[in-house]
Chains A and B, each alone.
Chain A
């Protein structure tokens, strides 16, 4: 069972990583969801007998019980990830309202430094900076 879970986690992590590397915020969001699912699966494996319920039904022998602590971790993590995902969705919506686009933008200052020919810290900028253009 652990092998199956390990493979599942590997699949979730790799797909998630691919999606996070995209430029569209919605895809990154899906990627992050998959990554956090992967982390939760790893937590289940940490119970040592992944797949079985935390409290074995109908029996009173504690030795058959599963360690419930990692499941509690996973539950906490799911709640937190849910909240942050909602926040990211709100950010994506705000980004779409402002620009009609949910592509993640380059940092305007980075662009300026990159495009400055023969960077000289004494040379003044000409007229408007990219920050002003992008940061309306």
Chain B
């Protein structure tokens, strides 16, 4: 690469500098807001540029500080990284607007904006890094920011949830580090560009062990079966805007890492692929059954995250271009829809004072707009046509049928129905019926909160409308990831 590609480091560098600036102007919340929104809006433009560029160039590479690969840190952007970055930044921008409208933690704590921007830097680095050790650092930057955001406020429920979350994340990090040590011992490199060649000389059995260890590590972060127990305990206790970011983004970074490592170490390892398919089915079923037993909106939605992760792993486990493309499409759809649902859950809590289904009633009567904002993404999540969820699920089922994975295809269709049932539970519990007279009714919902949620609903419909081009982009992204496309049926 002789061209100037240093700009692909900007999504990591800019938010870090902005975070520092945000600390400096800590006394003025208005200045912090301008910095936060300005930074994310700029990054959004950059991410669009990156999607366009990667679609033309396949892969963009830059060496940080001009040091070449084995010594320096490589940053790379391919189609998958670019599209993940674009969706994530867009979603982070919308949630920031929502958080500002909501006030609460954002207004009370000087630290919210700087930590939020650091989280952005960590997420960007995780997508753009071309070096596995650097991926570890990116995860840590992201996780440490998330620890602070989760416990901001220091209430008892947050401390309790935060403890579980920090301990499990730290455990995963230690395992990650150990696996990196083993990988380095086996291959002598952690650079993603050099690894395929270096791994070629490694005993296939050892390679599979390394792959499984990595998948375990990222599986904890992605909350796949049976490593999901921490998620529904910790997420619902964070402030609404923070939960929305966690739900929409953090687990998906884990899935992203799973895709990367699978393509790096075992793109043709059908045994691990089959294992992933089995795990995918179990993750879907267990997640949705968990959701059915819950009584609170945020917790129901948290269990749905797990269930949805199963669909993405399903696409990965097929180890085909169609499967990967469907998984990418699913992640894009899911980030938008899941965040919308959590934001709507926040609107319900704001309007009714609680998210407990037994104590919220008749929201459709009192707040018809919130009802619509919930209904559209809920139908989309369940995969009802013509929403984005249908497009993504159709692509997955299509790829599954092409790969003759009948069992998991059947499970995924069944889980779709159960998803609809549990979404219906929220709908009946919170929106239908007569408004109870003892309900706490806040005077008005802040316009910014409603607008932010509405923007994501529109984006979700946009994904459904632009499904063709997005699907094409996802397929090209999958083809770059899976170079041996001809070898796998």
Residues of A within 8 A of B (CB): 20, 25, 28, 32, 35-36, 38-40, 42-43, 45-46, 48, 67, 69-70, 73, 76-77, 80-81, 83-84, 87-88, 91-92, 94-95, 98-99, 104-105, 107, 109-110, 112-113, 119, 121, 124-125, 129, 131, 134-136
Contacts and interface: CB of A to CB of B under 8 A. Distances in A.
A46 B144 contact: no
Given A70-B184, A73-B181, A80-B140, A129 B292 contact: no
Given A87-B144, A124-B358, A42 B170 contact: no
Given A36-B177, A48-B185, A73-B181, A113 B293 contact: yes
B226 interface: no
Contacts of A42: 177-178, 181-182
B425 interface: yes
Contact of B177 (A32, A77, A105): A77
Contacts of B144: 80, 83-84, 87
A91 B166 contact: yes
Determine which residue in A39, A92, A125, A129 has the highest number of CB atoms from chain B within 10 A of its CB, and name it.
A39
B163 A95 contact: yes
A87 B166 contact: yes
B239 to A, nearest CB: 14
Determine which residue in B156, B177, B233 has the highest number of CB atoms from chain A within 10 A of its CB, and name it.
B177
Contact of A76 (B137, B157, B161, B292): B137
B177 to A, nearest CB: 4
B184 A69 contact: yes
A25 B170 CA distance: 13
B296 interface: yes
A111 to B, nearest CB: 11
B299 A39 contact: no
B156 A110 contact: no
Nearest to B155: A135
A130 to B, nearest CB: 11
Interface in B147-162: 147-148, 151, 154-157, 159-162
B295 interface: yes
30 contacts: A25-B163, A32-B174, A36-B170, A43-B181, A43-B184, A46-B181, A46-B182, A46-B185, A73-B181, A76-B137, A80-B144, A81-B174, A83-B144, A84-B144, A88-B167, A91-B159, A91-B162, A91-B163, A95-B159, A95-B163, A109-B232, A110-B233, A119-B293, A121-B292, A121-B425, A125-B295, A129-B295, A131-B296, A134-B160, A135-B157
Nearest to A76: B137
Q: Is the interface of B mostly helix, strand, loop or mixed?
A: helix
Contacts of A109: 232, 294, 296, 299
Interface residues of B, number: 44
B356 interface: yes
B462 to A, nearest CB: 34
B185 A73 contact: no
A71 to B, nearest CB: 11
Nearest to A125: B358
Given A28-B167, A76-B137, A81-B173, 10 more contacts: A42-B177, A45-B181, A76-B133, A80-B173, A81-B170, A83-B144, A88-B166, A119-B293, A131-B296, A135-B157
Contacts of A119: 293
B354 to A, nearest CB: 10
B480 interface: no
B63 interface: no
B181 A70 contact: yes
Given A87-B147, A136-B156, A32 B184 contact: no
A107 B293 CA distance: 15
Interface string B293-309: 11110010000000000
A69 to B, nearest CB: 7
B132 to A, nearest CB: 10
A99 B163 CA distance: 14
B164 interface: yes
Contacts of A110: 233
B458 interface: no
A39 B425 CA distance: 46
B174 A91 contact: no
Nearest to A69: B184
A36 B172 CA distance: 11
B171 interface: yes
Nearest to B428: A122
A105 B151 CA distance: 16
B482 interface: no
Interface in B182-202: 182, 184-185, 188
B392 interface: no
B177 A43 contact: yes
Closest 4 CB pairs of A and B: A42-B181, A46-B185, A39-B177, A43-B181
A50 B365 CA distance: 70
A94 B182 CA distance: 37
A94 B170 contact: no
Nearest to A43: B181
B180 A73 contact: yes
A71 B147 CA distance: 27
Contacts of A105: 160
Contacts of A46: 181-182, 184-185
Interface in B274-316: 292-296, 299
A30 B294 CA distance: 34
A73 B166 contact: no
B154 A94 contact: yes
Contacts of B177: 36, 39-40, 42-43, 73, 77
